[in-house]
């Protein structure tokens, strides 16, 4: 059994539906480098833009020789122009309000500095005690370094943390870190699945008034559906 004393959230696909904003951002760079834009007809490339950090995206789609130049160009863009294309996931705000009263919350994302601008724009920064981005670590997910750092900043042992993610990279990072993983919307695999943020809140409502969650690491996915 695991007693959950802190929750770490992935960003893209978990807190926000960000694919349109991400594609607009990356396609702005691709156009500048006279490279093909990524469209919905290319799911593998869309997935890369959704999960990987910018260095990896540019290395794969523009080539290693143009990666650093593309990163420099992208760094000069103001991501706030793309923020209106971001959409909060359903039920996120009331869930964060409730959860933040129970346990400390963190973000761990392969996204960079735009993370902070987006959280501030949607007035969500207040709910997170720690925010860890790809700029805070030497190796992004699926390396576990980011999750270790987030747990330390929460002041919670990794054995007592729940990580909520939606991608294979998230699942791999959690497995490497030895942290319990909750698969948001069931796309990444794993035994613990949630389909809506309200389900996280319901896990804490055990009727005893205790502000902690105790669940089994082998809990079948059907028990949360």
* Global pTM value: 0.84
- Where exactly are the structural domains of the chain? 2-17+86-224, 19-83
The Cα 192–Cα 171 span in angstroms is: 11
Give me the count of residues in the chain.
225
Instruction: Give the model's pLDDT for residue 108.
Output: 97
The Cα diameter of the chain in Å comes to 60
| Model pLDDT, residue 146 | 96
Given a contact cutoff of 8 angstroms between Cβ atoms, the answer to whether 174 and 192 are in contact is: no
Low-confidence ranges of the chain (pLDDT < 50): 1, 207-213, 216-225
Confidence at residue 221, expressed as pLDDT on a 0 to 100 scale = 38
155 Cβ contact partners less than 8 Å away, ≥ 6 residues apart: 6, 104
| Residue 186 to residue 181: CA distance in whole angstroms | 11
In this prediction, residue 206 carries a pLDDT of: 52
Distance CA 211, CA 169 (A): 30
Note the CATH number of domain 2-17+86-224: 3.40.50.1000
């Amino acid at each position: 059994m695991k007693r959950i004393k802190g929750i770490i959230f992935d960003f893209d696909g978990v807190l926000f539906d960000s694919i349109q904003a991400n594609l607009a951002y990356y396609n702005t760079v691709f156009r500048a480098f006279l490279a093909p834009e990524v469209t919905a007809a290319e799911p593998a490339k869309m997935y890369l833009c959704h999960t990987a950090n910018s260095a990896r995206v540019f290395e794969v789609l523009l080539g290693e020789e143009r990666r650093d130049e593309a990163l420099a160009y992208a760094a000069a863009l103001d991501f706030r122009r793309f923020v209106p294309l971001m959409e909060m996931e359903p039920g996120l705000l009331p869930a964060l309000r409730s959860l933040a009263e129970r346990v400390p919350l963190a973000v761990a994302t392969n996204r960079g500095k735009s993370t902070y601008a987006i959280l501030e724009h949607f007035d969500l920064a207040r709910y997170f005690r720690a925010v860890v981005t790809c700029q805070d670590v030497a190796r992004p997910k699926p390396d576990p370094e980011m999750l270790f750092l987030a747990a330390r900043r929460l002041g919670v042992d990794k054995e007592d943390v729940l990580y909520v993610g939606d991608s294979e990279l998230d699942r791999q990072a959690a497995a490497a870190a030895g942290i319990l993983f909750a698969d948001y919307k069931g796309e990444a695999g794993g035994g613990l699945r949630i389909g809506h943020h309200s389900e996280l809140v319901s896990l804490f409502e055990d009727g005893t008034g205790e502000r902690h969650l105790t669940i089994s690491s082998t809990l079948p996915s059907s028990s949360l559906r």
